[in-house]
Amino acid sequence: MRDGETIACGECDLLLRGAALAPGTRARCPRCGALLARAPASGVDRPLALALASLVTLAVAHLNPVFGIEVQGQILSTSLWGAAAILYREGAWFLSALVLATTLLFPALQLLAICDALLARRAGHNASTRLLRLLHAVEPWVMVEVFMLGVLIAVVKLSSLAGVLPGAGLVAFAAAMLLMAATSASFDAHRALLASSQVLPPPPTSPLS
């Protein structure tokens, strides 16, 4: 949020004149209390470290078995890549592509866009507007949390039929989910998009009622 910028509350449509926020503070609508904007408490290094750590754990999660099933002394395990390949061979190509897109492609694009914006800010120039718009576009399709919930439900149901052994991929997915949540909390994509667009604030006038 910039000084003099006219903003509208997303909940009650109240028009307000914005002001620059101090680090670690939030702006709320005086009418309904909805969150209007927030300024991360940290600088560039912390969210950048979280984003890079999220990328690493996401790669580890996809390259290692999520969990294994022990049946009659034999342990069967597969990674998410292997599960997607099985779905593709069985003819469920759309489901296979959807699994990889929502748990790998879109999360990776989101994290790469955040890294690009943070590296650009660290270098002293604005981030790519196209990448920031891409970040907004893919954010609703990042479903690592939904995947983790589905895995936990499957583990509970399978535990009554066979021995279920959690794999390194499951631990990495849990770590990636927490790190991505921390990254999103410490990076204000809307603020970065406004800065990259270089939108001039309107001339100061009397407060809007």
Span 66-78, pLDDT tens digits: 877 776 777 777 7
pTM recorded for the entire structure: 0.66
The residue count for the chain:
209
- Return mean pLDDT, the chain: 78
Q: Is the pLDDT of residue 34 over 80?
A: yes
The pLDDT, as a whole number, for residue 196 is 59
Mean pLDDT along residues 22-46:
77
User: What does residue 74 show for φ and ψ, rounded to 5 degrees?
Assistant: -105, 140
CA distances from 38 to 16, 112, 128, 141 (A): 15, 22, 21, 23
Q: Which residue has the tokens 């290094």?
A: 45
Q: Is the pLDDT of residue 33 over 50?
A: yes
Q: Is the pLDDT of residue 206 over 50?
A: no
Give the separation between CA 133 and CA 28, rounded to whole angstroms: 24
Q: CA geometry: angle at 79 spanning 143 and 53, to 5°?
A: 55
